[in-house]
Amino acid sequence: MIDVYSAATPNGHKVHIMLEECGLPYRIHHIDIGAGDQFKPEFLAVSPNNKIPAIVDPDGPDGKPMPLFESGAILVYLASKVGKFLGDSDRDKFTTLQWLMFQMGGVGPMLGQAHHFRIYAPEKINYAINRYTNETKRLYGVIDKQLSKNAYLAGDQYTIADIATFPWTRSWKNQGIDWDDYPHAKRWFDEISERPAVKRGVEVLANARKSLADDPKAKEMLFGTAQYAKR
Ligand SMILES: N[C@@H](CCC(=O)N[C@@H](CS)C(=O)NCC(=O)O)C(=O)O
């Protein structure tokens, strides 16, 4: 049974969806990132960057427990474990990894900043809002173009590149996106939303999710001095 340390956020959803897609048994441990659980020594021992998601697979490749943080690494690990969602040929695998890296290095960080400056920042800083909204639109444009030629991001198969990217596009409204501008991405989004494993994955820990809007303590934990204390 894989232990999953997580919350109902886009990076958490990636792993919840993947586990559901793979049919792997898992036990979920809620890390309340608004309450500061991510700074507890027992969580930092598995995830030293104080971020969810993290997993511990008691049955690692050498038979010993395998702890992992970083959602992209976890997706690659689980795909390798079950032999699915990475692509069949070496060419397919590298193409999948390419689009996974595009998500990890571009889509996640930039859409996250767009969300932050549009919704959470205490002051409206137009330069930051425009910078990250425009970058988000550019990235949706790249995705849309790729999906105009392919059913999925890495080609004709549903892979961990789709599993990594989809959860970030669920917050399209808060990122300033109008789906009418990205019809191919919308077709992909609608199709993935309907997958039974995706429907189950996005419900994991959904009840524990709290809005940050009126929660100054959570904002302090996520964006304030708590982040920068030496540990
Ligand atoms: N690159 C990391 C990012 C993880 C991440 O940003 N997690 C957020 C929630 S989506 C988090 O745990 N934030 C808590 C914190 O920064 O203290 C990954 O993909 O796993």
11 lines ligand 1 (CB under 6 A): yes
Please tell me the distance between residue 78's alpha carbon and the centre of ligand 1 in angstroms.
19
Residue ranges of the chain with per-residue pLDDT less than 50: none
- Confidence at residue 230, expressed as pLDDT on a 0 to 100 scale: 83
82 lines ligand 1 (CB under 6 A): no
85: left (phi over 0), alpha (psi -120 to 50) or beta: left
The full set of domains in the chain, from first to last, is: 2-84 (3.40.30.10), 90-193 (1.20.1050.10)
Q: Pairing mode, if any, of strands 66-69 and 2-6?
A: unpaired
38 lines ligand 1 (CB under 6 A): yes
Output the CA–CA distances (angstroms, integers) from residue 13 to 17, 90, 142, in the order listed.
Answer: 6, 27, 22
Instruction: Give the pair of three-digit tokens for residue 193.
Output: 């939303």
For residue 39, give the ligand 1 atom closest to its CA: 17
| Short-list 217, 192, 211, CA closest to 85 | 192
Q: Pairing mode, if any, of strands 2-6 and 26-30?
A: parallel
113 lines ligand 1 (CB under 6 A): no
For residue 72, give the ligand 1 atom closest to its CA: 19
Contacts of 39 (CB under 8 A, 6+ apart): 50, 226, 229, 231
Q: Are 209 and 8 contacting, i.e. CB atoms less than 8 angstroms apart?
A: yes
Model-level pTM greater than 0.95?
Answer: yes
- Confidence at residue 180, expressed as pLDDT on a 0 to 100 scale: 98
Please tell me the distance between residue 118's alpha carbon and the centre of ligand 1 in angstroms.
19
103 lines ligand 1 (CB under 6 A): no
- Confidence at residue 56, expressed as pLDDT on a 0 to 100 scale: 98
Please tell me the distance between residue 48's alpha carbon and the centre of ligand 1 in angstroms.
11
Instruction: Give the sheet arrangement for strand 66-69, strand by strand.
Output: 26-30, 2-6, 54-57, 66-69
